A = this chain, B = another copy of it.
Amino acid sequence: MADYIEPLQKLAEQFGKLSGIGRKTAMRLAFSVLDMSEEEAAEFASSVIEAKEKIHLCPICQNLTDKEKCDICSDETRDRSVICVVEDAKAVIALENVREYNGLYHVLGGVISPMNGVTPEKLRIKELLTRLEDSEIKEVIIATNPTVEGEATSMYLSRLLKPAGIAVTRLAYGIPVGGDLEYADAVTLYRALEGRRDV
């Protein structure tokens, strides 16, 4: 990398800091900035700044928003008796794309992972408990990822919330739609058998 001109090198290093971008891709992206017009590059730079400046966490559900409260929390037509607990804002987007769920969300900002120093206190569980004091909520759907940490977080929350008389549910495990039994792992197949339903 020694022979690159310095501003190009610096730009590539900046791209390299983004998630999942390696050295070669970073350089390709830096080159494609050079192919932009001066105005396009300025627009690109300002949208980086703008996104950082305008986007913050919704004080209620901890999801990302550029407004005072997020669109979901301020939407009066949504069902205020259900909260879906997710790890991050990306999960909210994935669930919203289904266009089936009409309740509220709560973004934990991670999962319990003692190995990485993430204890329950570091997640936004306190904020969730505060919301639940508001007696409107009847059900909490736990939609953390199907990983060991996601599962541990789910167990932790369920033990915390059930005594308060709130229904706590978990997303169903099973074979993914369009998948092939041949390639499904044993744990998934076991969960699919266990969770079988009448047809």
Interface, chain A (partner B; CB < 8 A):
3-8, 10-11, 14, 17-21, 25, 27-36, 38, 40-55, 64-67, 70-71, 89-90, 93, 96-97
Pairs of residues from A and B, 3 with the lowest C-beta to C-beta distance, nearest first: A45-B45, A19-B32, A41-B52
Contact among B18, B29, B33 for A33, CB-based, below 8 A: B18
5 contacting pairs across A/B (C-beta < 8 A): A6-B66, A7-B55, A33-B48, A34-B55, A45-B48
- Bound-state Cα–Cα, A41 to B17, Å: 11
- Which secondary structure characterizes the binding site on chain A? helix
Contact among B3, B10, B25, B64 for A34, CB-based, below 8 A: B64
Given contacts A5-B65, A14-B44, 10 further A-B contacts (CB under 8 A): A3-B71, A11-B50, A17-B32, A17-B44, A21-B29, A30-B51, A33-B48, A34-B64, A38-B53, A41-B48
Known contacts A19-B29, A52-B33, A8 near B71 by CB under 8 Å: no
**A42 CB to nearest chain B CB (Å):** 7
**A30 CB to nearest chain B CB (Å):** 7
Q: Are B71 and A31 in contact (CB under 8 A)?
A: no
Q: Are B18 and A32 in contact (CB under 8 A)?
A: yes
Q: Are A46 and B45 in contact (CB under 8 A)?
A: yes
Contacts of A71 in B (CB 8 A): 3, 5
**A165 CB to nearest chain B CB (Å):** 32
Q: Are B32 and A64 in contact (CB under 8 A)?
A: no
Q: Are A51 and B7 in contact (CB under 8 A)?
A: yes
Contacts of A27 in B (CB 8 A): 90, 93
Known contacts A66-B5, A71-B3, A52 near B28 by CB under 8 Å: no
